[in-house]
Amino acid sequence: MSEIIFHSVSHAFGNRKVLRDVDLRIRERRVGIIGSNGSGKSTLARMINGLLTPTSGTVTVDGVDAARKGAQVRRKVGFVFTDPDTQIVMPTVSEDLAFSLRRTGLSKQEVAARVEEMLVRFRLDEHADHPAHLLSGGQKQLLAIGAVLIRRPEVIVADEPTTLLDLRNARVVAEALDSMDQQVIVVTHQLSLLDSFERVIVIDDGGVVFDGTPDDAVPAYRELVE
């Protein structure tokens, strides 16, 4: 597993401080991040692959600074957004998957093989040539996940990947995340998603207020919000 270290990380948007002196060392295979809206959890997640830069402090992935060497870190860490429409950029499903492999130096045959692998894995093979924007919400999220996985990263960070989905599609996406060989870090409000996780970090008012197993962390979070 990769080692992700937050060292004295703070972040502010203008005068609003959203993270305050966060210190974390993440090495587990399955890690959940939970907290109320505005707690800072999504900001924290986006720093792991350099999508956001700390105002102060450092975030490193296996010793590489995510702010200073973001491109290098992003080859190792893939990011799945809440809304798949922000990630789907090409007209058809197959084209969108292939687009993720641009500038990788792979042959056309290797690109085609990886695209087919993702289509089959996420049951999108019957939709390969369909317009991506006409997929269901769940299928769009699976496509977005596939477009991240096709690059074969070592770590997947998913920011509330089931929030916009109905119960059935949320379950399908949860199963897809659970089936991954990669290290997975998930920001979520769907607490049942965390049952099999090794560790859950609770964020409140920009800081870590609890850090433990799901059996301990989820009740602590419920108590916090109640």
Q: pLDDT tens for residues 80-131?
A: 999 999 999 999 999 999 999 998 999 999 999 999 999 999 999 999 999 9
Domain 4-225: assigned CATH number: 3.40.50.300
Q: Domain boundaries in the chain?
A: 4-225
Q: How large is the average pLDDT for residues 30-48?
A: 96
In the prediction, which pLDDT does 226 show?
A: 83
Judged against a pLDDT cut of 90, whether residue 150 lies above it is answered with yes
Nearest CA to 93 among 155, 140, 54? 140
pLDDT digits (tens, 9 = 90+) for 187-209: 999 999 999 999 999 999 999 99
For the chain, give the mean pLDDT.
95
Q: Pick the closest to residue 200 from 26, 46, 22, 23 (CA basis).
A: 26
Supply the pLDDT for residue 103: 86
pTM beyond 0.75: yes
The set of residues, in sequence order, having a beta carbon less than 8 Å from that of 188 and lying 6+ positions away, is: 32, 33, 34, 158, 160, 161, 162, 163, 194
Three-state secondary structure of 71-124: HHHHHHEEEECCCHHHCCCCCEHHHHHHHCCCCCCCCHHHHHHHHHHHHHHCCC
Using DSSP bridges, classify how beta strands 56-61 and 4-13 pair: parallel, antiparallel or unpaired: antiparallel
Please report which confidence band the pLDDT of residue 11 belongs to, taking 50, 70 and 90 as the band edges: very high
When pLDDT is averaged across residues 67-85 and rounded to a whole number, the result is: 96
Q: What is the mean pLDDT of residues 132-158?
A: 96
Q: Give the tens place of pLDDT for each residue, 170-193.
A: 999 999 999 999 999 999 999 999
pLDDT level of residue 149 (50, 70, 90 thresholds): very high
